[in-house]
């Protein structure tokens, strides 16, 4: 198993978020022949959670609306999900996005806005900093379309759920999806 594994849960699953994280991480480690790691979670300088005693196992979580996502991998990664809601997407894009991203939203509407927002969040989680580091350039539009790379990260936009935008930022390798929401 190489690459990134994305778990999709309805957020009202009987397991708590912490239980889901530990179960999926333990299963991932077992599949790699590394059973029983200590999955104690700590937070880094900018708040990114990590397994203090299993630093080789990377993870990222996100939740919005009725869904919770968990990305697992052996390299840095970031995941984000955004429920698409009515908003003044042009005003928000003008305030928060660069000129090329704003133009993309102007042409593509709310779907483009949410794709960019989700990509920004995933990319910043990839670095483990959220919006705490304004020095990281997170332009995710190139040549008038969503970029497939941003800096060191590959950007993947899986069409998982109607009414939601999802982005995974990872170093590379395949993306496998496990759905627990059926």
* R_g over Cα of the chain: 16
Band (130; pLDDT cuts 50, 70, 90)? low
Segment 150-166, tens digit of pLDDT: 888 999 999 989 999 99
CATH number of 170's domain: 3.90.470.20
Q: Quick check: 79 pLDDT over 70?
A: yes
Q: How many CB atoms lie within 10 A of CB 39?
A: 18
User: How many CA within 13 A on the CB side of residue 48?
Assistant: 25
Number of domains observed in the structure of the chain: 1
- Predicted pLDDT of residue 172: 80
- From CA 90, how far away is CA 177, in angstroms rounded? 32
Q: How confident is the model at residue 70 (pLDDT cuts 50, 70, 90)?
A: very high
Residue numbers of the domain that contains 64: 4-179
Q: pTM for the full model?
A: 0.91
**pLDDT given for residue 1 in this prediction:** 52
CA distances from 130 to 45, 80, 86 (A): 11, 11, 24
pLDDT number for residue 36: 81
8-58 confidence digits (pLDDT tens): 999 887 889 999 999 999 999 999 998 888 999 999 888 889 999 999 999
User: Which residue shows structure tokens 């379309």?
Assistant: 145
pLDDT over 60 at 167, yes or no: yes
Q: Is the pLDDT of residue 134 over 80?
A: no
């Amino acid at each position: 198993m190489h690459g990134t594994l994305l778990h999709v849960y309805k957020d009202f699953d009987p397991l708590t978020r912490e239980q889901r994280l530990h179960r999926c991480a333990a299963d991932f480690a077992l599949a790699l022949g590394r059973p029983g790691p200590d999955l104690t979670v700590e937070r880094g300088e900018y708040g990114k959670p990590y397994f203090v005693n299993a630093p080789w196992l990377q993870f990222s979580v996100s939740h919005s609306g009725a869904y919770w996502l968990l990305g697992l991998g052996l390299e840095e990664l970031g995941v984000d999900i955004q429920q698409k809601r009515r908003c003044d997407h042009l005003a928000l894009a003008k305030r928060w996005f660069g000129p090329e991203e704003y133009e993309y939203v102007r042409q593509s509407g709310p779907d483009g806005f949410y794709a960019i927002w989700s990509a920004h969040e995933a990319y910043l989680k990839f670095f483990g900093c959220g919006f705490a580091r304004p020095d990281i350039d997170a332009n995710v539009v190139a040549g008038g379309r969503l970029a497939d790379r941003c800096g060191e990260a590959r950007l993947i936009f899986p069409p998982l759920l109607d009414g939601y935008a999802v982005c995974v930022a990872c170093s590379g390798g395949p993306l496998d999806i496990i759905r627990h929401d059926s």
